[in-house]
Amino acid sequence: MKREPAVKKIGVFTSGGDAPGMNAAIRAVVRACVYNNIEVCGIYRGYQGMVENEIQQMHVRSVSRILSQGGTILKSSRSKDFRTKEGRAIAYANLKAHGIDALVAIGGDGTFTGAEVFEKEYDIPTIGVPGTIDNDLYGTDSTIGYDTACNVITDCIDKIRDTASSHNRLFFVEVMGRDSGFLALRAGIASGAIAVMLPEEKRSIEDLVAILEEGAANNKTSSVVIVAEGESYGGANEVARQVKERYDKYDTKVTILGHIQRGGSPSNYDRCLASMMGVHAVEALIYGERNKMVAMVNNSMVLVPFEVAISKRSEIDSEMRRIAQVISI
């Protein structure tokens, strides 16, 4: 049975880096609002659009045929204006002018940090939906876009391995992950990398060379090393340079995958995760929740306070590290 909503009109927006599955989340929020007789508005370009009054009414047909699209139809940006009290005051006035009394924020830690400040200043209920390929938000087993990005990376590395094997080459492949090695570690296991360089693990160049030498002793004629962009040496180019100075058995190449990792049609998992989180975000607002992030924990939806989600970092699974080491020989 439907409950009389605690809110009458919800604004939904995406902020920060885009992630595959954000459109599925937008779609779920809009349709859950319509289902529960709540009006819904799309706020374009995140917090900047809130400041500049880029707000439009949405309905069921507004989100037709977007489930399979990457990126975000609501666009995204990083807003300097919203970081000021004056900017937030303008944003709030624009929301009130549209009759919006609650928000669903789809994004990462920067998005939720802004939402927490805004809620404290203007008492506007906000529920967050975690959308980031880095999977670094504390309190959820997975974030929207992570699975798709892992699949994209694995597919790219499979193709790179074909040419590496053909020419006895050593490839250093740089993946995203400024502060988090989730993408690198999972891609390393899935693609059979000989080693993975993570921000969380200070592996020395000497240790990496020893791994490569051991691989050569085991008759490996080509190898792939995955490097997270935020690891301590400064990325794949620098790691490759230092390794080549010490070990020149292979023809060494570097590939930086870059923003290709964020694009493409979201996977089945990300579409379903985003849909579930979008619906739960709306239902949380209906039940009077605020200042919390929707999270998936052990296949169940829970709510995690923003202050918890953004004050801690999800840690790399030590068992995954062990498995990666065991199977890389």
Q: Does residue 168 fall inside a structural domain?
A: yes
Has residue 317 been placed in a domain? no
Give me the pLDDT at residue 318, please: 86
Question: Do residue 73 and residue 158 come from a single domain?
Answer: no
Q: Is 1 within a domain? A: no
* Backbone torsions φ then ψ of 204, nearest 5 degrees: -80, 160
Regarding whether 134 and 22 lie in a shared domain, the answer is yes
Q: Which domain holds residue 295?
A: 9-145+266-311
Q: What does the block give as tokens for 128? A: 């967050």
Residue 104's CATH number = 3.40.50.450
Residue 323 lies in a domain: no
Q: How far apart are the first and last CA of the chain?
A: 57
> Do 153 and 207 share a domain, yes or no?
yes
Q: Which pair of tokens denotes residue 304? A: 């995690």
Nearest CA to 128 out of 195, 140, 86, 261 is that of: 140
* Segment 115-148, tens digit of pLDDT: 999 999 999 999 999 999 999 999 999 999 999 9
| Count of positions (residues) in the chain | 329
Residues labelled catalytic: 134
The pLDDT of residue 56 is: 98
Q: Is residue 163 in some structural domain?
A: yes
DSSP 77-138: ---SGGGSHHHHHHHHHHHHHTT--EEEEEE-HHHHHHHHHHHHHH---EEEEEB-TT--BT
Decide if 279 is inside a domain.
yes
Predicted local distance difference test score (pLDDT) of residue 313: 79
Cα–Cα distance, 38 to 93 (Å, whole number): 20
Question: Tell me, what's the pLDDT at 188?
Answer: 93
| Statement to judge: residues 237 and 299 lie in one domain | no
- Walking along the chain (329 residues) 10 residues at a time, the average pLDDT comes out as 72 96 98 97 98 97 95 93 97 98 96 95 97 94 97 95 85 91 94 92 90 82 88 91 88 93 96 98 97 96 96 85 85
Looking up residue 184, the CATH number of its domain turns out to be 3.40.50.460
- Does residue 187 contact residue 155 with C-beta atoms inside 8 Å? no
